[in-house]
Chain A
Amino acid sequence: MFLNIIILVALVLASLWTVMTRSLLRSGIGLALTSVILAIIMFRLASPLAAVFELSVCAGLISVLFVSVISLTQPYSQKEIIERMKLMLVRFRLLPFIILGLGLILLLIKVNFDLILPIPETERNVRNLLWNFRQLDLFGQIIILLAGAFAVVILFKEMRKNVR
């Protein structure tokens, strides 16, 4: 239990770092770190398949993509970065208090979560499950990928054409 909380706190810290850090490169690395911690949580929740996917796709593939793309861009100058940093700090200065306040209110309302949970089903063959029961979702994912591909075509490929 204690370990779980430590991991969760680490997850939050890593994602905060990802969002708040100065350079895009560090932000990409932070994303990878977040994915790794998420994978650890999944391992601990006894779903190794999901953890492996998370590690390989998010932490591995996407991070590599990000880092390689970012290395192609021109970074902000140091002065600009500091200014943006200040702006961000000003903008989000109230955030911790709000989160704490909201948490406090939720704590004060004593909610009684007593639930009758059904017995968890025994693990089924993943391939079988995906193809026989979640065919529609798989199909949907394919369409999303397709849409993503078109997004790249429309927003980036054409942009290059315009630049040229």
Chain B
Amino acid sequence: MTDKILLLPIIIPLLGGLLALLTPKKSGALKEGISLIAVLLNLVVTFSLFKSNLYYALPWVGFGLEFSLRLYHFSAFIISASAFFGFLIMFYSVVFMRGKQFLNQFYAYFLITLAFINGAVLADNLVIMLFFWEGSLAALFGLIAIGGKGAFKTATKAFIILGITDLCMMFGIALTGQLAGTLTISNINLPLNLLGSLAFILLMVGAISKAGSMPFHSWIPDAAVDSPLPFMAFMPAALEKLLGIYLLTRISLDLFKLNPHTWISIMLMTIGSITIILAVMMALIQKDYKKLLSYHAISQVGYMILGIGTALPVGIIGGLFHMVNNALYKSCLFLTGGAVEKEAGSTDLAKLGGLRKNMPITFVCFAVAALAISGVPPFNGFFSKELIYDGALERGWIFYLAAIVGSFLTAASFLKLGHAAFLGKISDENKNVKEAPLAMLLPMIVIALTCIIFGVFNILPIKNFIQPILGEARLGGHNFYGLPTNIFLVVVTLIVLAAALLNHLFGVKRYGSGLKAVDHIHYAPGLSWIYNKAEGRFFDPYEIGLNLVNVISRVGYGIDRGIDWIYDKFTVNLTLALTGGIRKLHTGNFSVYLAWSLLGMFFVILFLLRSI
């Protein structure tokens, strides 16, 4: 009986979503009420399930496909976290979304996403996981598509990119099932031989694309502009990271035996490093609040992948801790972005500025989150980054370098963002901007406080949530909470942060504005060309793919004409000729028909005699 409780985290949001979809449009606060109750119940259930180990299996279609769910410390942690974010962001959305279009659909997709993500996390069968995984993709499509003009195109883009990567994952699952002989996740433990590596890579593609890593990232900045803002805080910032990194961790730790000696590990670290650098470079030059954040959402994934890719306990713990921290401060940042958008009516940095006085609480929350993401002690980001640096340095200085450069640029870009949005002179039209409503402030405050708590008392999350994931055997008695042990790294970090600050001050002095503080990097010789190309989506794999498809379709068109000719002209004429011929043969003369019959019989007998 108690096992069946595992179905609740899936059923509650799903039911809530369907109810929200069905409520009449003019029912006032009913759908908000339903949605809030659903997320609250979800929160209660997941929290109450925390620390318990449960397994629930329902015989399904057979062929080794049983509907099995497993709750243990890792999945419990992830679903609790997603329930936490879900609750806060729903709370925020109720105010933020008021008066917008497609509210029913928004709440429905929101809750359904939550249900599917819970399902995917809990699933103990690869196929069941895939089912929920794809389901969340469909809901994602819906969530972006309701954003308004141009959103549909972005939604399609996201759908195609993620659809292709999910397809890879599907193959990966098939291959894994073939190799392991079972689809039950907890029973799989494969070596990374040739086929195993292939399966790993296919699964990894699915996982990191969900998390938003390069080169599967390009829909995120577009979605940041087009889709409803709570979606950004909810999906790319928090839940997708949780889900993607969860899967990456599962396949690295449980499904496959990833260790530092495999090339897979190097590959993961490379992907991570490249993602950190490139995405943060793009973030640096953005002139839009949300878009800047969205590039950071990509960049931070790089740290997590880098951390897990080190395949060292310290790196993995760092990566996972970073996942939690990132979900916290990134969603907080997006929420502040939402508050600014709601109150000031724009997220264009050129139109903002000086909001510090008008929106003090928002500014404080932003400051906390920005400091955390930049890795300033004693906020949580600092500790997780230190752990990742530690791991990266052990595996190779180049990865460490990438991470530290990323850190520098992150700090620089947030100095720019903060300066442009909240400091400086306020514009005339923003004079009357007020602080955001309490319902929107509360989630920000809660998250910002959590950032501080997880930083100062990092023993709390690391000891309780993250270290159990690796297990005592892997940890080897080490503990990773508390203050960083490697003084060298701390010193370097502090130097880098100071450099970022100096850089910012230099930029401000030179160009006279916070917004343009990094223009000397933007227009640096060599870099500006690349930036221009990148702004023109020259490097977007999706666009490249589209162009490729265009070329292929041109060629296909030519072939198609030919085939068309075969269908339209050749076949028709041939048929007409045959038909005409056959008609001519039917003269209506019975002796001709008789002759046919007799000849037919003659040949039949001839054939028979030959074949005996």
Contact = CB atoms under 8 A, between A and B. Distances in A.
A109 B602 contact: no
Contacts of B610: 109
Contacts of B609: 109, 111
A102 interface: yes
A97 B493 CA distance: 108
Contacts, number: 7
Interface string B571-612: 000000000000000000001000000000010001001100
A105 B606 contact: yes
A105 B605 CA distance: 11
Nearest to A94: B595
A91 interface: yes
Contacts of A111: 609
Give chain B's interface residue range (CB within 8 Å of chain A).
under 10
A111 B606 CA distance: 11
A91 B594 CA distance: 13
B589 to A, nearest CB: 9
B587 to A, nearest CB: 12
Nearest to A105: B606
B277 to A, nearest CB: 85
Contacts of B591: 91
A97 to B, nearest CB: 13
Contacts of A91: 591
Interface of A is mostly: helix
A144 to B, nearest CB: 23
Interface string A104-140: 0100010100000000000000000000000000000
Nearest to B609: A109
Contacts of A102: 602
Nearest to B602: A102
Interface string A78-116: 000000000000010000000000100100010100000
Interface of B is mostly: helix
A91 B606 CA distance: 26
A101 B609 CA distance: 17
Contacts of B606: 105, 109
Nearest to B610: A109
A121 to B, nearest CB: 29
A102 B604 CA distance: 13
Nearest to B591: A91
A54 B559 CA distance: 73
A111 B609 CA distance: 8
Contacts of B602: 102
Interface string B441-471: 0000000000000000000000000000000
A67 to B, nearest CB: 26
Contacts of A105: 606
A105 B591 CA distance: 22
A91 B595 CA distance: 12
Nearest to B605: A106
A105 B606 CA distance: 9
Nearest to B612: A111
A31 to B, nearest CB: 20
A94 B339 CA distance: 101
A91 B590 CA distance: 12
Interface in B331-354: none
Nearest to A98: B595
A70 to B, nearest CB: 23
Nearest to A92: B591
Interface in B11-47: none
A134 to B, nearest CB: 29
Nearest to A112: B612
A109 B606 CA distance: 9
A95 to B, nearest CB: 9
A102 B606 CA distance: 10
A6 B610 CA distance: 32
A102 B602 CA distance: 8
A85 B384 CA distance: 112
A102 B609 CA distance: 14
A115 to B, nearest CB: 14
A102 to B, nearest CB: 6
B256 to A, nearest CB: 71
A105 B610 CA distance: 12
A139 B609 CA distance: 38
A91 B591 CA distance: 9
A5 B596 CA distance: 29
A91 B592 CA distance: 10
A48 B591 CA distance: 36
Nearest to B592: A91
Interface of A: 91, 102, 105, 109, 111
7 contacts: A91-B591, A102-B602, A105-B606, A109-B606, A109-B609, A109-B610, A111-B609
Question: Which 7 A-B residue pairings sit nearest by Cβ, starting from the closest?
Answer: A109-B609, A111-B609, A102-B602, A91-B591, A105-B606, A109-B606, A109-B610
